[in-house]
Amino acid sequence: MIILPAIDLHEGQCVRLFQGDYATAHVVADSALETAKSFQEQGARWMHMVDLDGAKSGCPQNAGLILDVAQNVDMHIEVGGGIRDMAAVESYLEHGISRVILGSAALRDPAFVKEAVKHYGKKIAVGIDALGGKAAAEGWTEKSQTDYIELARQMEAIGVEFIICTDIQQDGMMSGPNLEMLDKLNRAVSCNIIASGGVSSLLDIVNLYDLGLYGAIAGKSIYTGALDLRRAITACQRVSGKAPKTRQAVEDELERYFQKSELIPAIIQEESTGEVLMLAYMNRESLMKTLETGTTWFYSRSRQALWNKGETSGHTQQVCSIDSDCDDDTLLIKVKQKGPACHTGSHSCFFKKLWPKKGDTP
**Which residues are designated catalytic?**
8, 129
Sign of CA dihedral 220, 223, 224, 230: positive
Instruction: Give the strand pairing for 76-80 and 46-51.
Output: parallel
Amino acid sitting at position 289: K
Other CB atoms within a 10 A radius of the CB of residue 109 amount to 15
Q: What is the DSSP letter of 62?
A: S
Instruction: Report whether 341 contacts 267 (CB < 8 A).
Output: no
Bridge partners, 163 (sequence order)? 126, 193
Other CB atoms within a 10 A radius of the CB of residue 110 amount to 18
Q: What is the DSSP letter of 121?
A: G
Amino acid sitting at position 258: F
Distance CA 177, CA 175 (A): 7
At 285 the three-state DSSP class reads helix
Angle at 33 between CA 28 and CA 35, to 5 degrees: 40
